Amino acid sequence: MDTIFLSEVKVQTKLGVPEWERMVEQTIILDIEIGYDLSLACKSDDVADTIDYGLVVNRVRETLKEHSFKLVEALAEHVCQLILKEFSALNVKVKVAKPAILPGLKALGVIVERTAS
């Protein structure tokens, strides 16, 4: 299996357990790995034979602007399911980082990996 990766994708969303934290958008950083069979695209050199990375980034940004999450876990699951369903990925791994949320901490977050059923 092949992997498409999108590194350090900055998105805006409302995220946090306390309600006040979800009142304003925050920058969240995503690392996304998408499992896909790229053998045809390698031969054809045609974007129709792969996943359009720009469409993935735009769709993730769009959906995260529309939703609010309490937990980074729920946000990661949402992104995984979106990519599996809308882009026919074989599997997806999403790292969600919430930067500088606690003093002395660069970031906190989760890594969630899901496979198409």
Enzyme catalytic residues: 98
CB 99 within 8 A of CB 16: no
| Joined tokens for residue 40 | 């045809």
For the CA atoms of 19, 58, 31, 113, what is the dihedral angle to 10 degrees?
80
- How many angstroms separate the CA atoms of 104 and 92, rounded? 31
Task: Give the closest residue to 19 by CA, choosing from 70, 75, 94.
Answer: 70
